[in-house]
Amino acid sequence: MPGLAVIGHPVAHSRSPEMQMAALTELGLAGEWIYGALDIAPEDFEAEVAALALEGEYAGVNVTVPYKEAALAMADEASEAARAIGAANTLSFRDGRIVADNTDAGGLLRSLPHLPEGERALVLGAGGAARAAIWALVDIGVEVEVWNRTPERAEAVARQLGARAVAEPVAAEYDLIVNTTAVGLAGEDPFEHLPLAADSFRPEQVVVDMVYGEGPSALLAAAAAAGASTVDGLEMLVQQGALSLRIWTGAEPSLEAMRAAVHR
């Protein structure tokens, strides 16, 4: 039975196992495939992933915080997107070799209510998820500005991916705002940690928050109250997860089944 899993640290909060098993069940593959979660400590990451690739029990894994850049560095092969982004969230194990892909970029674009070609976007963060968002948006002709609490990181990522770093963004000036940071995951007030104010949003904007919980994040609640369109981390999870599952199985999973699973 081919194994699949999400790898991270921590990973107990992830809804990927339930979501992917729902998709496999809908496809009629639940008896052939299984999807779980592996919490791997940073000092063990490389050895554990190498073992998974060699042992042959796993067909692949999703990779989440904090391992997306390390996952790409381990790969024997990588897709064009993963190489360009500099991070991987999907690994496939083929005859002992590690093949890296990045479905975060496509997952973001599939989550949006429309493709923002020619528009202006603000990406908050500079990690693997931020790199995927920046690359995806720049690739379709979006003018992207990047903020990070460490300005040097924002400048480095922006320079590498064709965006521009910004120290004090004005939220109302952007058509799209994407929060890729973990701010809000532990219940903290995003407006104390991000360069945004609760009253800084406007209608016609699209606001994406990759953080997810039991209900809308404080960031998305404020954006929705201002009339902006919002996309939560669960929709991103579904869209990138569907692309990963298609890589591994060759089948097109049911988004409806996956959404139902993550919202239970």
106 to each of 47, 137, 162, how far by Cα in Å? Answer: 29, 10, 18
Domain identity same for 207 and 134: yes
List, for residues 178-227, the tens digit of each pLDDT value: 999 989 888 899 999 999 999 999 999 999 999 888 889 999 999 999 99
pLDDT of residue 1: 76
What pLDDT is stored for residue 264 in this prediction? 84
pLDDT of amino acid 186: 81
Tokens 């770093």 locate to: 165
Query: Residue 60: pLDDT band by 50, 70, 90 thresholds?
Result: very high
- pLDDT at residue number 158: 98
Same domain, 184 and 248: no
Does 115 lie in the same domain as 66?
Answer: no
Q: What is the pLDDT of residues 7-37, one digit of tens each?
A: 999 898 899 999 999 999 999 999 899 999 9
- Domain interval for residue 130: 106-232
Mean residue pLDDT of the chain comes to 96
Q: Which residue has the higher pLDDT, 88 or 213?
A: 88
Chain segment 117-174, per-residue pLDDT in tens: 999 999 999 998 999 999 999 999 999 999 999 999 999 999 999 999 999 999 999 9
List, by residue number, the catalytic residues: 68
Between residues 31 and 46, the one the model is more confident about? 46
Cα–Cα distance between 241 and 18 in angstroms, integer? 11
**pLDDT in the model for residue 65:** 84
The answer to whether the beta carbons of residues 184 and 174 sit under 8 Å apart is no
Same domain, 110 and 215: yes
CATH number at residue 210: 3.40.50.720
* Tally of structural domains, the chain: 2
The structure's pTM equals: 0.94
Predicted local distance difference test score (pLDDT) of residue 138: 98
- Does residue 96 share a domain with residue 142? no
Question: Could you tell me if 167 and 257 lie in one domain?
Answer: no
Question: How far is Cα of residue 29 from the mean position of the Cα atoms in its chain?
Answer: 25
pLDDT recorded at residue 191: 96
Q: What is the mean pLDDT of residues 82-109?
A: 97
Model confidence at 5, pLDDT cuts 50, 70, 90, reads very high
**Same domain for 88 and 115?**
no
* Closest to 59 (Cα-Cα) out of 104, 13, 9, 20: 20
Provide the residue count of the chain. Answer: 264
Query: Is the domain of 80 the same as that of 126?
Result: no
Query: Are 59 and 116 contained in the same domain?
Result: no
Q: What is the CATH number of the domain that holds 25?
A: 3.40.50.10860
Whether 187 and 247 map to the same domain: the answer is: no
Q: Both 87 and 205 in a single domain? A: no
Residues 56 and 150 in one domain: no
